[in-house]
Structure 1
Amino acid sequence: MKEMTQETEATAAASGQRATERFREQKASAAGTDKERVNRLASRVVKAINDTVLEEKVTYDEYNAFKAWLIKVGEDGEWPLFLDVWVEHSVEQVANEDRHGSKGTIEGPYYVPDAPEQQSPATLPMREDEPGTPLLFQGRVTNLEDQPLAGAKVEIWHADDLGFYSQYAPGLPEWNLRGTVIADADGNFAINTIQPAPYQIPTDGACGQLIAAAGWHAWRPAHLHLKVSAPGHQLITTQLYFQGDPHVGDDIASAVKPELILDPAPRADGNGREVTYDFVLDPE
């Protein structure tokens, strides 16, 4: 009989390879970027590396260690993790600098499209004995004029109470704690889930080697991932964090913004916690 694997047996290499495969499936290449733009961007990156070598007087031993580490990042499939943790927050800042509605932040490497769809109110797919504190996450989706966006789509995904994501850790049901919720005619949504836990990004691979060598920590604060959209409006990709989490002030991914911090309250029925957060979408 095949032995059951547990989510705690997840490895950086396995989740990294899955993230790399998913990226290749979903994301368009930059093949259409004109040569002048590629030349400008690539030249600046190469110059920044060479400037660092010259200014810091990098030795051959350090250079070779860096080269070996770059090779391992590729072997472990951790380029999506590395870029999403240490670079994406700047790309997101550029992408959303003209937005007037809700604040966005990074997508991260663990998004999976086409999660099961439900009408609001909804309960995310979860195990019968799903550990963690029940959380009612609710709110309203409007445009910039505070008009409700009927039928707005709220995609939500997050880690479980142990810090693992379905489809990226063994032993978890395929769509565990992932769903697509359709708001009602007044733009309202209500989603029953559990409050996720803070977690460390995978540390048994190349990214973990960098973290250990630099003396950094690997923690991300607990968060809900969301993509909210409606016809004629710009999709917003964001994450929502929790007041009091020890890592909202030093998130390794530099993705926390003050506007994205939730402060849930106990539910009146005593069954967990609840919080309300509204989304405002910009026009296309």
Structure 2
Amino acid sequence: MTTDPKAPTAAGSGADATDRFKTDKAGPGADTPPERVDVLAREVLAAVHAIIRRHTVTYAEYNALKAWMIDVGETGEWPLFLDVWVEHVVEDVATEHRKGNKGTIEGPYYVPNAPDRGPRGSVPTRSGEPGTPLVWTGQVTSTDGRALAGARIELWHADANGLYSQFAPGIPEWNLRATFTADDEGRFEIHTVRPAPYRIPTDGACGRLIAAAGWHSWRPAHLHVKVSAPGHELLTAQLYFSGDAHNDDDIASAVKPELVLEPRPTTGGAGEGVAYDFALDPVRA
């Protein structure tokens, strides 16, 4: 983690993630029928009750949990907590029917409407942006092999310090965020830099859980993407890099073998290149 005094705090990034969630996503569950809410709430509570009985939870432990949950709310870390420890199971269930590419969690740092760079271009970067140059080429097709002209590939990732633009101070608004629109053959070429592994924020409530449980807080290096085309299901994924020390013990449990890239040195050795395609599932009738 960076030691820059301007580095974001867990509370600061948590508040940003909470505000973004409220703006973009809050509310879709309002139409859930009462009978389903009843079933889900009762089963969650029954599972909690069973754990308390099975492990003879004490009042001291109960009060520690209550204090910790209050702390999570006050620091705005619910998006971080849920996205790190819960979302991967929701994603598995939601996409188990798909025949095309595997996806994985979105995480708390997506921002819509990143600048469009066409079918071939570079993500916005700062002058001297740290990181090995990376050129990624690919094609977007339907699961039947038909090229999807005009498919959108939204890309975002952390910088060399594990920080995301719009969630950390001092970083330009769209740094390492861009949208690419595939050509008539569904092809695209993206120029960026290879991100680094990073630790999730540990100075807040989530960090206290990690310390108390004796866990680590590392995520492997990854590229976030959302891939979409008319008439097809949105694919949300993270792409990882072979050989990363944390591919096998990602704190967010989000790595899948199908999402691991194999970069190769480019001609002249000035960077790396990788090829990775997407096959999208048609929207189900």
Deviation at 1:8, TM superposition (A): 5.4
Superposed, which structure 2 residues align to 1:112-261 within 5 Å? 112-261=111-260
Deviation of 1:28 after TM superposition, in Å, equals: 3.7
Residue of structure 1 equivalent to 2:102: 103
Gaps of 5+ in 1: 1-5
In 2, distance between residues paired with 1:212 and 1:59?
20
AA partner of residue 246 (structure 2)? H
How many correspondences in the alignment? 280
SS state at 2:113 partner: coil
2:275 counterpart letter in structure 1: T
Q: What secondary structure is seen at the aligned counterpart in 2 of 1:81?
A: helix
Q: Deviations over 1:205-260 (max 9, x none)?
A: 00000000000000000000000011111110000000000000000111000000
Q: Post-superposition shift, 1:7?
A: 8.2
Q: Which amino acid aligns with 1:38?
A: V
| SS at structure 1 position matched to 2:135 | strand
**Distance in 2 between residues matched to 1:8 and 1:212, nearest whole Å:** 23
Instruction: Report 1:20-59 matches (<5 A).
Output: 20-29=18-27, 30-59=29-58
Structure 1 residues 59-113: Cα deviation after superposition (integer angstroms, max 9, x where no partner): 1111000000000000110000000000000000011000000001000000000
Residues 1:12 and 2:10 aligned together: yes
Q: List gaps (5 residues or longer) in structure 2.
A: none
Letter in 1 for 2:18: T
Q: Aligned letter for 1:186? A: E
CA distance in 2, matches of 1:45, 1:185: 48
Which letter does structure 1 place at the counterpart of 2:138?
A: G
State how far apart, in whole Å, the 2-side matches of 1:228 and 1:268 are. 28
User: How far apart are residue 50 of structure 1 and its match?
Assistant: 1.1
Q: Secondary structure at the match of 1:31?
A: helix
RMSD: 1.2
52-61 or 6-15: bigger deviation:
6-15
Whether the aligned pair in 2 keeps the contact of 1:120 and 1:190 (CA below 8 Å) is: yes
Per the normalisation by structure 1, the TM-score is 0.97
Report the Cα distance in structure 2 between the residues aligned to 1:169 and 1:49, rounded to whole angstroms: 35
Cα distance between partner residues in 2 of 1:263 and 1:161: 19
Displacement of 1:270: 1.9
TM-aligned CA deviation for residue 184 of structure 1: 0.8
What is the SS of the residue equivalent to 2:140?
Answer: strand
- Of residues 58-67 and 26-35 in structure 1, the stretch that sits farther from structure 2 once superposed is 26-35
User: Separation in 2 of the partners of 1:181 and 1:189?
Assistant: 7
1: CA distance between counterparts of 2:82 and 2:258?
Answer: 24
Looking at structure 2, the residues matched to 228 and 33 of structure 1 have their Cα atoms a distance apart, in angstroms, of 27
Task: Kindly state the Cα deviation for residue 269 of structure 1 after the two structures are TM-superposed.
Answer: 2.9
- What one-letter code is carried by the residue in structure 1 that aligns with 2:125? M
